[in-house]
Chain A
Amino acid sequence: MPGSEISREIYWNVTAFSVVLMYLLAGATIAVFTYGFYRRYRLWRLGKPANRLDHVMQRVAAFIAYGPGHGRTARDLYPGLMHLLIFSGFVTLFIGTLMIMVQADFDVQFLHGQFYLFYSLFLDVFGFLAIVGVLMALFQRYVVKPEYLYAMYYDGIVLGLLLANLVTGFGVEGLRMAATELRQGVAWAAWSPVGYVVAQPLVALDPGALQALHTGFWWLHLLLALAFIAYMPYSKMLHSFTSPLNTFLRSFEPKGQLSTPDLETAETFGAGRIRDFTWKDLFDGDACTECGRCTAVCPARSTGKLLDPKLIVLDLRNYITRHERGLLAGRDVAAGDPALPALVGEAIPEQMLWDCTTCRACMQACPVLIEHVPKIVNMRRYLVLEESRFPREVQGVFNNLENRFNPWQLPHQQRAAWAEGLDIPTMAETKGQVEYLLWVGCFGAFDDRNKRVTRALAKILKEAGVSFAILGSEEKCTGDPARRIGNEYLYQMLAQENVETLNGYGVRKIVTQCPHCFNTIRNEYPDFGGRYEVIHHTQLLAELIAQGRIKPTKPVDEHITFHDPCYLGRYNDEYDAPRYILKSIPGLRLSEMAASREKSFCCGAGGGRMFMEEKQGARVNQTRVGMAQATGADVIAAACPFCTVMLEDGITGKGLSEQMRLRDCVELLAESLGEAQAGGSGAG
């Protein structure tokens, strides 16, 4: 190789024998790597089928956006940057290494001249940034130690290997440069800036020592690199492949839609054994990077409950790992195999499942699109439908939903009692000849506090000349609480009956008072042949304001903060309509909570939690009220009857009844329209 040409001697100080040995070792490494992958693949295949190969172009787009694009990873600055540095460093170094292989072993000469200079600069800079990234990770994990990032032994191994690879790599470079480029005084040495700096103190050593040291470091670096690659499929570094793949395999169903099993033909109900999950559920476990973002945002976890969404995913993964042989041999928990502990109840404590409010904060936070909530509901289904095990206070709710079509012991004939004196027609009276069906929901129809909201809403709609009717006593609970508690059987009965009623009247447009009803009718009733245009009342009201059909003119002198309902916001992406209403009311001052919009913190009522006792930790509703209080607002504005009940309770529970009040957006709007009396503006 001519000395004047800008380049470097590849395999300097490396014997041909070493290169051959290197390739043999690399071959063995690839075999170990492939075998590790294969073992995981066998385990994924234990799951039930699920089609995640439709919408291919959208999948590719998701893969690019969430994988190398860091779409969600970068949403949190520190870990996002940390990951980007390590990720881009290793990708660059890996490509750089492949380029060396192409030049040295396939004899394609291109690493010379200016290209070589930039090549070398690039690799050095990105390698250095990767070191910064790894140090950031070590600092976060072992110095800052956030509660959600509990470190496992293998986190140390992985980070240690990453750092050792980078450091020895620069060691090899520095030793080579000290012995060659620096000694020869070539001008371009500084284009490898890190190697250049490392080489400075080494120049003083004698050439023989440098050569010997270089040989040692070269081997050390090689073995560490191969060890790291071989270890990948056996450790959380598997995520380098599974996480981006997981974003490719994302769901394209509506976020608020749970699966609808055919209960007549099903042999098992819900998920109580590994085989009851889909392969994608099992794959999720391997896609998890254990970053803990789900843990950090979970309202159950952050109020001291047992539930940790990350552990749900990891427990499932660890279960298939630990019982790999038994599971592959076709053993099953259901067969009472003593070698296999119960998945639900032993590996995953039941209380964890009951703690969940299905608020979807975990799924919204997950950088790799893991689906926590469907797994939790599926395991609840198993507990309710197969084992009949659930918090005892829920049994009454089931019985009431079954017999009275509302969660309480209230006669369903009284469902339209709230409308007394308002002259609101029923669908039966109008024969369906109206534009909208106003779906009131159980809370809006029976709960005294929320009846005031319903009345205010109905009055506004009437004033605005909206053509609407109600179902009256023909309306039944949508089944949302039953479904999310796991009683799919009860849910399906209610859904079928409601769809039959709705289709009987030829209903096309539905406006709902409750985000839970909104979500279920909109996203889940299509499975039962119920296809309607469903909007939430805040959406309709915002539209009426925009069209000038109602004009909020009377100032409402309040300092408010808006609490996003999970099933309106995170599940259905509606954050703006309620804010549009609030901003159109003169006099209102709106302060946002840090946890607002997609980061909203659940009131604690979703997933049937409304009807369960909260025995552990701090109260979710009071915690949320505390966040509202921190904004300095006097009024929490709500747009969901569940939230209204929970947060009003939270205000009382925290002893803030004198300072704070809760008002639905509708009530605030009614006051501004000069209907304070009608809506009932008091909090108590």
Chain B
Amino acid sequence: MNVYVCVKQVPDPNAPGKMDPATNRLVREGVELVMDPWDEYGVEAGLQLVEQHGGVLTVISMGPERAKEAMRKALAMGAERGVLVSDPALAGSDALATARALAEAIKRESPDIVICGTESSDGSTGLMPGMLAELLGWPQLTFAKKLAVGDGKATIHRQTEVGFQIVEAPLPVVVTVTGGINEPRYPSLKGIMTAKRKEIVELSVGALGLSADQVGAAGAKEQVLDLAKPEERQSGTIASDEGDGGVKIADFLQQRRFI
């Protein structure tokens, strides 16, 4: 089975991020860059599929040359090869342009399944996987907290607010996974060492048969108009126990459909 996992290099989400007031975008220069921790779940899910069914796990990414560093993390975890779509023309791409570039790259291969995180931790649009499925003409299964493949189809437990739905779709398929799906493995030093020697194929926009105005800032339809601070989080409720503490807690949980 050929499994593809999309990964993205992002500023370390645990470091306090900075916004560029001129572009209204996140500052990506001079900060610690890592493979998006959300993508670790996708890589782990992909590795488990390959371990079960055999085949090859390829990681695919779009970004500048340095994005390879992030891809090495996935290769260290056990992915076999990488595909990086990299071109100066891609700078400033929005979700659709990114999906277009990735879709073209994926079409050149023969995947059975493409796994993405639910959203990136920097842009957090959550749009790309849906667009990717549309451009590939494949079904998409989203918010998977459990994933199984067999008999030419993929079946997932789709996380919802109150529980989960069981959804299936024929292969090939795009699946987005949630943080609850697995515990990503820690790369062994052997993995880290061999990752240095693993192949990462680089593809330019031209090689994908795309024109420069379809991607990058030129092809972007999204614009960031304004920046605002998120509303401060409401402080929690403190229930004082006057002999009815248990009831209060039960009511609270029930209102929120936890029980």
Contacts and interface: CB of A to CB of B under 8 A. Distances in A.
A398 interface: yes
Interface string A375-415: 00000000011111010100100110001100001010100
Interface string A240-267: 0000000000000000000000010000
A413 B31 CA distance: 13
A384 B189 CA distance: 8
Given A403-B14, A404-B14, A411-B14, A385 B34 contact: no
Contact of A386 (B12, B32, B190): B190
Given A392-B183, A403-B32, A403-B34, A489 B15 contact: no
B186 interface: yes
A279 interface: no
B14 A385 contact: no
B191 interface: yes
Contacts of A489: 189, 192
Interface residues of B, number: 15
B188 interface: yes
Given A392-B183, A403-B32, A403-B34, A386 B188 contact: yes
Q: How many residues of A sit at the interface, in one of the four size bands?
A: 10 to 19
State the main secondary structure of chain B at its contact with A.
Answer: loop
Contact of B189 (A386, A392, A399, A413): A386
Most chain B CB within a 10 A radius of its CB, from A269, A385, A398 = A385
Most chain B CB within a 10 A radius of its CB, from A263, A269, A388, A488 = A388
Contacts of B187: 388
Contact of A398 (B16, B186, B192): B186
State the main secondary structure of chain A at its contact with B.
Answer: helix
B185 interface: yes
A269 B14 contact: no
Contact of B12 (A387, A403, A488): A403
A50 B191 CA distance: 28
Nearest to A404: B14
A284 B14 CA distance: 46
B36 to A, nearest CB: 13
B188 A385 contact: yes
Nearest to B40: A399
Contact of A263 (B14, B185, B189): B189
Contact of A269 (B32, B183, B186, B190): B190
Contacts of B191: 388
Interface string A355-388: 0000000000000000000000000000011111
Contacts of B12: 403
Given A403-B34, A411-B14, A385 B189 contact: yes
Given A388-B185, A392-B183, A403-B34, A413 B16 contact: yes
Contact of A388 (B14, B16, B32, B188): B188
B186 A395 contact: yes
Interface string B214-251: 00000000000000000000000000000000000000
Nearest to B12: A403
Contacts of A404: 14-15
A613 to B, nearest CB: 15
Interface string A308-335: 0000000000000000000000000000
15 contacts: A269-B190, A384-B188, A385-B189, A385-B190, A388-B186, A388-B187, A388-B191, A395-B183, A395-B186, A398-B186, A399-B186, A403-B12, A413-B15, A488-B189, A489-B192
Interface of B: 12, 14-16, 32, 34, 183, 185-192
Identify the 6 closest CB pairs spanning chains A and B, nearest first: A385-B189, A388-B188, A489-B189, A395-B186, A269-B189, A388-B186
